[in-house]
């Protein structure tokens, strides 16, 4: 299939492009490099041995997107382009609604006018807010606590409205849990700009002495060791989930799927495993809770298993090993 990949130079996009190329799909990456680097595209080529079609541009530019869809004879779109930092979204909500909501609207309008109706959309477990019941199933009530989360939920609602109005759309909404790790080659991985927000990149930077220590945001949660529990998922498993979702779009639908492992690990368990695989001591301090954090969040992945024939295969050890391999091969990123 000819697949247009918006945000394809980013963390999840690059890994998904590798899987798409491995499965002989043809891809066109569109990215404005707001949070990524052109080198990432070259690394995808190095891993796959295939030339990658690429255009620098913005998803909010309808005319540009329409031209790319038409010229490339695009059959389906994977939409990763967007912003993802919860804290920044609270400081600058208009930017988040512009990129994440207006950006997706422009893309959908361009797709509609070109009669391309297959879409895989990057949503997030953040749409579940503080879950009332664990593990989280897809039909749990949705509510969010910050502008980033709301931008994802608004887009989900737009997609459901679009499908209701025109049931010939084929839409898969993927709710990611906590993507971590890197490709085995160590050529592509997460390259956060500035101080990372997420646990695993900070742990990797402390292990490699790029940072002195990390703060654990609270050890007084009602969990096994008092620290927050999350469903970490290996980025390659997540990327394969996208491939399976794309393949499921041979029938019209608008379905949401959890992409998680179903296993929860605490912050202390992640640190311990990372110390083990890197053979480095990871210094930390206990700090107060971070606003908006929940004690525990992990997926029920059954629906994705049944509908997409997909299951995460890689465990916490492999996530940490691959993250460490990427970190030592690329100590300052791309």
Instruction: Supply the residues annotated as catalytic.
Output: 148
Rounded least distance, CB 179 to ligand NAD, Å: 5
- Of the candidate residues 42, 60, 272, 289, the single one contacting ligand NAD (CB under 6 A): 60
Supply 24's token pair.
């002989």
Residues 158-187 that bind ligand UFG (CB under 6 A): 177-178
- Of the candidate residues 47, 103, 230, 242, the single one contacting ligand NAD (CB under 6 A): 103
Does residue 32 sit in helix, strand or coil? Answer: coil
Q: Quickly tell me which residue has 């199933």 as its tokens.
A: 137
Query: Of 221, 225, 226, 234, which is closest to residue 263 (Cα–Cα)?
Result: 234
Report the helix count and the strand count for the chain, using DSSP H and E.
Answer: 12, 14
241 binding partner (options ligand NAD, ligand UFG, none; Cβ < 5 to 8 Å by kind): none
Is 202 an interacting residue with respect to ligand UFG (CB under 6 A)? Answer: yes
Contact (Cβ atoms closer than 8 angstroms) between residue 257 and residue 175: yes
Q: What is the separation, in whole angstroms, between the first and last Cα of the chain?
A: 29
- Of the candidate residues 84, 230, 242, 244, the single one contacting ligand NAD (CB under 6 A): 84
- Of the candidate residues 215, 225, 283, 328, the single one contacting ligand UFG (CB under 6 A): 215
Is 199 an interacting residue with respect to ligand NAD (CB under 6 A)? Answer: no
Is 233 an interacting residue with respect to ligand UFG (CB under 6 A)? Answer: no
Which residue has its beta carbon closest to ligand NAD? 10
Q: Indicate left, alpha or beta for 218 from its phi (over 0: left) and psi (-120 to 50: alpha).
A: left
- Of the candidate residues 69, 155, 214, 273, the single one contacting ligand UFG (CB under 6 A): 214
> What is the 8-class DSSP label of residue 75?
-
131 binding partner (options ligand NAD, ligand UFG, none; Cβ < 5 to 8 Å by kind): none
Residue 45 burial by CB count (10 A; 0-12/13-18/19+): exposed, middle or buried?
A: middle
- Residue spans of beta strands (DSSP E) within 191-319: 214-217, 229-230, 232-234, 253-259, 265-266, 284-287, 296-297
Residue 51 burial by CB count (10 A; 0-12/13-18/19+): exposed, middle or buried?
A: exposed
Is 326 an interacting residue with respect to ligand NAD (CB under 6 A)? Answer: no
81 binding partner (options ligand NAD, ligand UFG, none; Cβ < 5 to 8 Å by kind): ligand NAD
Rounded least distance, CB 214 to ligand UFG, Å: 5
Contacts with ligand NAD, residue ranges (CB under 6 A): 6-7, 9-13, 30-36, 58-60, 80-82, 84, 99, 103, 122, 124, 176, 179
């Amino acid at each position: 299939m000819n697949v247009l990949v918006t945000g394809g130079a980013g963390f999840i996009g690059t890994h998904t492009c590798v899987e798409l190329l491995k499965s002989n799909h043809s891809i066109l990456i569109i990215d404005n490099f707001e949070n990524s680097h052109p080198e990432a595209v070259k690394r995808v080529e190095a891993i796959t041995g295939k030339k990658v079609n690429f255009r620098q541009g913005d998803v909010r530019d309808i005319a540009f997107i329409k031209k790319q869809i038409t010229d490339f004879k695009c059959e389906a779109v994977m939409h990763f382009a967007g912003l993802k930092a919860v804290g920044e979204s609270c400081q600058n909500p208009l930017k988040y609604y512009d990129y994440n909501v207006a950006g997706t609207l422009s893309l959908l309008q361009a797709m509609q006018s070109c009669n391309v109706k297959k879409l895989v959309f990057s949503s997030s477990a953040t749409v579940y807010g503080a879950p009332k019941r664990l593990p989280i199933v897809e039909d749990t009530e949705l509510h969010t606590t910050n502008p980033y989360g709301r931008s994802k939920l608004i887009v989900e609602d737009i997609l459901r409205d679009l499908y209701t109005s025109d049931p010939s759309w084929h839409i898969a909404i993927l709710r990611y849990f906590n993507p971590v790790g890197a490709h085995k080659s160590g050529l592509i991985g997460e390259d956060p700009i500035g101080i990372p927000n997420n646990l695993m990149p900070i742990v990797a930077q402390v292990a490699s002495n790029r940072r002195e220590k990390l703060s654990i945001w609270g050890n007084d949660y009602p969990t096994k060791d008092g620290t927050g529990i999350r469903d970490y998922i290996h980025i390659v498993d997540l990327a394969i989930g996208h491939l399976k979702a794309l393949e499921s779009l041979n029938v019209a639908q608008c379905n949401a799927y959890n992409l998680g492992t179903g296993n929860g690990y605490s912050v202390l368990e992640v640190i311990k495993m990372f110390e083990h695989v890197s053979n480095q001591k990871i210094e930390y301090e206990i700090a107060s809770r971070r606003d908006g954090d929940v004690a525990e969040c992990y997926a029920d992945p059954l629906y994705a298993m049944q509908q997409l024939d997909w299951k995460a295969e890689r465990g916490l050890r492999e996530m940490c090993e691959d993250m460490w391999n990427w970190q030592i091969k690329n100590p300052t990123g791309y």
